[in-house]
Each structure stands twice: as structure tokens, then as C-alpha cells.
């Protein structure tokens, strides 16, 4: 996907952010959450889980 989504606010933890945006981006519903710091900024990344279909 490679999109940068706006931070909905400090009251949202990463799981709540994933739930919020999953309505628009269904692939986020099962994505893994990866957190890291870049230049003193907290970055939360949602990584799609690889699975098999069918």
C-alpha cells in the first residue's frame, strides 16, 4: 500500500488506529503492527500478513 495516513490523535493506540482505518483499507484488519523510532519520531507501520487463499 505504501500510504502515510494521518495520526488520529494521541488517545488512539496502534490497535485502535488499525481498527479506525480498516473500514477504508480492509487489508489492515489482519495486518501486523510494527513500531519504531525515526529521528525521534514514533512510526507505526501496518504490515500485511502473507497467507494463502482458498
State how far the Cα of 34 lies from the Cα of 39, in Å rounded to an integer: 16
Residue 48 has a pLDDT of 85
- Please check the confidence at residue 54 and state whether its pLDDT lies above 70: no
Residue 37 has a pLDDT of 95
* pTM greater than the 0.75 cutoff: yes
- Please check the confidence at residue 31 and state whether its pLDDT lies above 60: yes
- Please check the confidence at residue 44 and state whether its pLDDT lies above 80: yes
Answer yes or no: are the C-beta atoms of 49 and 33 closer than 8 Å.
Answer: no
**Average pLDDT of the residues of the chain:** 89
Residue 2 has a pLDDT of 82
Amino acid at each position: 500500500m505504501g500510504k502515510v495516513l494521518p495520526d488520529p490523535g494521541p488517545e488512539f493506540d496502534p490497535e485502535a488506529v488499525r481498527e479506525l482505518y480498516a473500514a477504508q483499507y480492509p487489508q489492515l484488519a489482519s495486518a501486523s503492527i510494527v513500531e519504531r523510532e525515526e529521528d525521534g519520531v514514533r512510526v507505526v507501520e501496518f504490515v500485511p500478513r502473507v497467507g494463502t487463499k482458498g
